[in-house]
Amino acid sequence: MVLLTNMAAVLSPWILRAAINHFQSEDLEMKLVLVYAGLIVVSSFVEGIFRFLMRRILIGVSRHIEYHLRNDLFAHLQTLSASFYQRNSTGDLMARATSDLAAVRAVLGPGIMYSINTFFTSVIVISILISISPYLAALTLSPLLAVSICVKYFGKLIHVRFQRIQEQFSRITTLVQENVSGIRVVKAYNQENAFIRRFRSSNDEYVRRSLSLVRIWGLFQPLLTLLLGSSLLGLFWLGGQQVMDGAITLGDFVAFIAYLAMLTWPTIALGYVVNIFERGSASMGRLCELFDSIPDVDDRLAEPAEVPLKGSIEVRNLSFAYNGTPVLSDISFDVAAGQTVALVGRTGSGKSTIANLLCRLRQAPHNTIFIGGRDINTIPLSVLRRHIGYAPQETFLFSDTVAGNIAFGRPAADRREVRAAAKVSNILGEIEEFPEQFDTFVGERGITLSGGQRQRLAISRALFTNPRILILDDSLSAVDTQTEERILGELASEIAHRTAFLISHRISTIRAADKILVLEQGRLVESGSHEELIAYGGPYAELYEKQLLREQLNIE
């Protein structure tokens, strides 16, 4: 279509040339004038149709590619693991997924269209110019050679400056995103003005960087037009002389001017195209950084697993470090299917890290963790996670209904199952008092609920998928001891047939466990049942005494 558009577009000046040459030698005849005029109208009309189709196809294609690119990006983000999200801020990811994607689309649509168009127009027009008069063509086109030098020089500048703009845009997005999600803390500490100042200075920087691009662009575009203008100037001067000398006809001269005018838009478009391409390639580079990140928890070693997995867990000499900082060292323990295990230890001793490793949210070394007798790294992630119900320490709820949040892991569930799950975590009574009960919206991150309610919804969610292995990371920390007791009573029957990990600071939560693992600074220092550990008189017994004492003091 681009080619056809251009072929139609070059017809009009050609007809004009023929008309002028014709009427110079013969008398003006109205009928013939009308024929020439009609031909020009027809050729313009045909050109219009082709141009319409060209835009429709190329712009349409760019929208489709954008659609796929956006889907691919989101799907790719879903595969990346916890460590990736630790390195990259939410705001930065959002900036790339929106602003950079738009810059890439601009290349695919207008960018490609204008550049193909410019290419064809230039090739066709220049060859016609040469065919009319090689001498004039050489003279008028020589300033245009400078165009290519300009393009190369300015293109590089545009690329670098746009990259810097996008980096700053990421910073602004991050600032806003953090401010909005932490707005309660911001207000509680009177930091609104501090944030306004930080935002303003970021925004200033953004404008400064944008203006530095505008300066380049503002120089680049007129420069191209200037070069074109000097071509026209040369044409009038030298071409006019040639007509007077009789070297070319008047018709040739007029056609020559008309063709040179046809180069105006492609030259201007070239400026746009360079701008669009350089922006797009800077942005595509930023997108590729995302596309090229490989999940460190990868599924490639996975072998088909027999389903269901057995619920036994074996940990052998497990050591783990976050970016070189050792957190767990040489941990070994066994859990038979159906057992309840408790993890206790001071804050920072590595309990949540073990939970993350068991869900494979973090990558454990090979041959250190075995689930149902298989190295965890060989079990397909989807199989592994279908078998695990995990309530993380930081409760996260989605902006959905209460029922939607409980049934998150298995959406097509009926209301009775949702109720049963709510009953286990002792939240059913409260849900029934909500204005719309299970259909009540919990707000973003569960903002309309209390901390204890959120935790209990998370327990229900973990149990809802009927997992073989249940991991509750400090899931009862925000409820009072009486509620805790009731939940533990309900949970007892639920976890009797599952392998359960209870992580807690409170002895009351864990004393009934089959096995208690005591962690200290990433080392397993004791393990055994409550009675065994008390009799042994180690760190656990000490912790127990202290908590007992505190409880007694509270009661008195």
CB of 395 to Mg ion, least distance (A): 13
The Cα–Cα gap between 504 and 517 comes to 11
Residue 393 interacts with ligand ATP (CB under 6 A)? Answer: yes
Residue 251 interacts with ligand ATP (CB under 6 A)? Answer: no
Burial 342-354 (b: 16+ CB within 10 A, else e): bbbbeeebbbbbb
The 3-state secondary structure of 349-416 reads CCHHHHHHHHCCCCCCCCCCEEECCEEHHHCCHHHHHHCEEEECCCCCCCCCEHHHHHCCCCCCCCHH
Nearer to Mg ion, 394 or 433 (CB): 394
CB of 365 to ligand ATP, least distance (A): 16
**Quick one: which segment of 113-121, 228-236, 347-355, 417-425 binds ligand ATP (CB under 6 A)?**
347-355
Q: Side by side, which strands form the sheet with 523-528?
A: 388-391, 469-473, 499-503, 340-345, 515-520, 523-528
Q: Which alpha helices (DSSP H) does 80-133 contain, by range?
A: 82-87, 90-95, 101-106, 112-132
**Quick one: which segment of 16-24, 168-176, 209-217, 342-350 binds ligand ATP (CB under 6 A)?**
342-350
Q: Which residues are paired to 340 by β-bridges?
A: 500
**Quick one: which segment of 104-112, 138-146, 386-394, 462-470 binds Mg ion (CB under 5 A)?**
386-394
**Quick one: which segment of 54-62, 275-283, 297-305, 389-397 binds Mg ion (CB under 5 A)?**
389-397
User: Which residue from 136, 142, 144, 143 is spatially nearest to 235, judged by alpha carbons?
Assistant: 136
Residue 360 interacts with ligand ATP (CB under 6 A)? Answer: no
Residue 477 interacts with Mg ion (CB under 5 A)? Answer: no
CB of 295 to ligand ATP, least distance (A): 16
CB of 52 to ligand ATP, least distance (A): 55
Q: With contact defined as beta carbons under 8 Å apart, do 514 and 529 qualify? A: yes
Task: List C-alpha distances in Å: 208 to 167, 204, 240.
Answer: 13, 6, 48
Q: With contact defined as beta carbons under 8 Å apart, do 377 and 316 qualify? A: no
Under rule CB under 6 A, which residues in 79-108 are in contact with ligand ATP?
86
Residue 395 interacts with ligand ATP (CB under 6 A)? Answer: no
Residue 353 interacts with ligand ATP (CB under 6 A)? Answer: yes
**Quick one: which segment of 45-53, 153-161, 349-357, 446-454 binds Mg ion (CB under 5 A)?**
349-357
Strand-strand pairing, 515-520 and 340-345 = parallel
Residue 345 interacts with ligand ATP (CB under 6 A)? Answer: yes
Residue 393 interacts with Mg ion (CB under 5 A)? Answer: yes
CB of 503 to ligand ATP, least distance (A): 7
Interface with Mg ion by CB under 5 A: which residues?
351-352, 393
Can you give the binding site for ligand ATP, defined by CB under 6 A?
Answer: 86, 322, 327, 345, 347-353, 393
